[in-house]
Each structure stands twice: as structure tokens, then as C-alpha cells.
Amino acid sequence: MATLALRTVIATIQAGQLTMAIQREELPLEGCVTYATRQNPRRLYLFVSKVLGKHWPARPRVMRDVHCRLAAKIAHLPGPMLVIGLAETATVLGRGVAEEAALLTGRDDILYLQTTRYQLDRPLAFSFDESHSHAPEHAVYLPDPELQPLFFAARSLILVDDEISTGRTLTELAKAYLAINPSLEQIAFACITNWLNTDHQKELNRRLERSLLFPALIDGCFQFEPDCTFPSPALPLFVANLNRNHDHVIADPARTGLMAGRGMNPPSFWEKVRMKASGRSLTIIGTGEYAYAPFRMALAWEEAGHDVLFQSTTRSPILVGDAIASRREFLDNYGDGLPNYLYNLDSDRLPVVIYEHPAMLDLHSLADELDGQAFCGETACLTS
């Protein structure tokens, strides 16, 4: 059954044309999303979020407003609650939703985990694929023993991504979790933009055999018409060691589970930053999957009155043009030899790169290449 659209939006990109039928807008589409062309023949179009802090620099306070809006839509669901953010794009959004839900309600039964593409020497809970992605395999690790009772007994599962176009990835994740917790009662696919029509939503609900919600800020559906004259781009070629163990450079507790709402006091390097900034505005840069703590630093500095934008490096290859005004390419900061990218960096601002492990400060040259500064964001790093 088709749902009547409030309005239709047409966007032309290098690879073709997107036509979007918007059915509900809690925030205006134009303030939340723009469009680009992937360097990926599996899926040529990309919805570029303006409020996510990834490929497009965003104001931290705007990002937090998005977190709060989505958190309010899931905070009432029965507990214990397990919230999982999708790496790498939605790690800030996922944890932000979990933290704001705990803050809003005062509840102490919200466990947060993120998926990861890094190998750790710990038991795997499950893995699943994101078929259209440039990096398809995700892992979810078992939390630490004290958190496992909640992990295995959650009544509500909240899966958070920036946008949902087919629902396949989140459905595969939900099915993997149901295999280890068949008593789960409620599932929610939370996102900024939900492009699933009513029939598609009903089909996913049938497949998961659970009550399934789709909390989002924008609802609609879209079609993509490829330009037959556009040459299909090839994924970047690289030689990488993808079977490395990463325990020696992993410090973010989100990959192994944490209780939302337990308080977070991000370290402040303001005096060191101020000396280099000399009155310049700032761009705080998270690194790959490690982005929530850098976001909280950016938010704290913005709340203190400083002019701050936030964004993050990424594995995702996107072509310059459309919403992508600039692209910097460099090797990843985990030592895997993977190409990473930074898009739309404002060259007038002082870039401050935040890593999760101190080893990256010496081994990764991005901050020097940008004539910026680099710090380690985890408390454990600061004392190591």
C-alpha cells in the first residue's frame, strides 16, 4: 500500500538521479541530508548526512539534538535494553541515542555496544555482512562478564544507523542476535532517514516475528535512476593485512560493551589547543570507528563558547563532486594499510585529530599533513 507523499525532492548526482517522496519530516530534509556518488559499483548513490559528523562537518549541538530526538522515541521500551550502533558511520549516533535515553529516563538497564570491523582476542557473539558496503563484514563481541547477563536477557533491541534504505543489514543483525536471545520482545530500527515503505516495513516485521518499530526523523521512499553514460567506478585497489589482531591499538570500551548513563568526562586539551589555535575556529576530527569521545570533546568546547565543527575520518570511498567538495586520502591509523578519507575539511579551521590509542600519535601523520594537532582521547591512554 502506497503512502501519500507530502512532497517530492529530486537530486541529480554524477551517477544518476535520486527521486525522494517525503512522507514525514520532523526536521527539514535539506537540513539533514545531501547527496553524493560512491566510488563503489555495488551502490552508486550516497545519502550524505549533514547532522552525523562523518562526511560533512556538523555542529556538535545539532548532532546532540538528533541524538535526543531519537532517544525520546525509544526510551520507553521495556528493559533491559541493548542498543547497537553500526560501524563505522553510526558509532556516534548509536552511543548518543543510548546515552541520551539513559539521561532522559534515569534508567540503568541500557547496554551499549557497537559493531566493529577489527579483530580482537575475545569471544565473538556473532558476525554478519553488509552486502553493499566497501567493507562488508561486521563483528559483535561478547561484553565483559559482568555485562553478559544483560546482553543475553535484553527485552528490547535498538539498532541504530544513519539511514535505512533496504533494512537488509539491520535485519541480518537482528536475526543474529535473536539466535542467542530468542526471548527478545521488541526490536527498533532507529535512524535519521527511513526510506522503507509501509509494505517493506511489514515484510521485515514478518521476517523477525517480533514487534518492530522504525523511529526516525524523516520518513519516505526513494528511487535511483542511474545515468547509463556514467562510467562505473572501481573500488580502490590496495594491499592490506585484514587478519591482524588489533588488541594492541584498541581502547574504546564501546566495542566490548558499556552501561549508558554512567557519566563521561572527556579529557580536555583546551590549553594546548588554544596555544596553537591563536583565535582560529576548530574542527575536531574523530578517527574511523572511534568518534563518540571526540564528539563529546567538541560538544564540551562548543558549550564553553568556542566555534567548533565535528567530523570523522572514514573508510568509505566517495567521488569528489556533488556534496563532496574535497577529499583527502591517507592510510588508516590502525596499521592495516587501508585507504582512509577525510571529506569537506574547512581549511580555515585548526584541525584537531583525536585517536583512541597513544601509539597512533607517533605512527599516524594525518595531523602533521593537515598542519593541525593530535591527541589521544581515552583516559587509559592519558596515563599509559
The domains of the chain are located at 263-382
Per-residue model confidence (pLDDT) at position 384: 34
Phi, psi of 162 (to 5 degrees): -75, -40
Per-residue model confidence (pLDDT) at position 75: 97
H or E element, residue 96: helix 91-105
Per-residue model confidence (pLDDT) at position 131: 47
Q: Cell 520482545 belongs to which residue?
A: 185
Measure the CA–CA gap between 71 and 66, rounded to whole angstroms: 8
* Beta pairing partners, 129: 137
Per-residue model confidence (pLDDT) at position 345: 98
How, if at all, do strands 16-25 and 216-226 pair?
A: antiparallel
C-beta pairs of 8-12 under 8 Å, 24+ apart in sequence: 11/35
Q: Cell 599509559 belongs to which residue?
A: 384
Longest dimension (CA), the chain: 60
> In whole angstroms, how far apart are CA 30 and each of 209, 226, 374, 383?
35, 22, 33, 44
Of the candidates 51, 99, 49, the residue with the CA atom closest to the CA atom of residue 71: 99
Measure the CA–CA gap between 45 and 29, rounded to whole angstroms: 17
Report the 10 Å Cβ neighbour count for 362.
Answer: 8
Instruction: Give pLDDT tens digits along the chain (384 positions).
Output: 455 678 999 999 999 999 999 999 999 999 999 999 999 998 999 999 999 999 999 999 999 999 999 999 999 999 999 999 999 999 999 999 999 999 999 999 999 999 999 999 999 999 876 544 444 488 999 999 999 999 999 999 999 999 999 999 999 999 999 999 999 999 999 999 999 999 999 999 999 999 999 999 999 999 999 999 999 999 888 766 667 899 999 999 999 999 999 877 766 676 777 777 778 899 999 999 999 999 999 999 999 999 999 999 999 999 999 999 999 999 999 999 899 999 999 999 999 999 999 999 999 999 999 999 999 998 654 433
pTM of this prediction?
Answer: 0.94
* Beta pairing partners, 318: 38
Per-residue model confidence (pLDDT) at position 130: 53
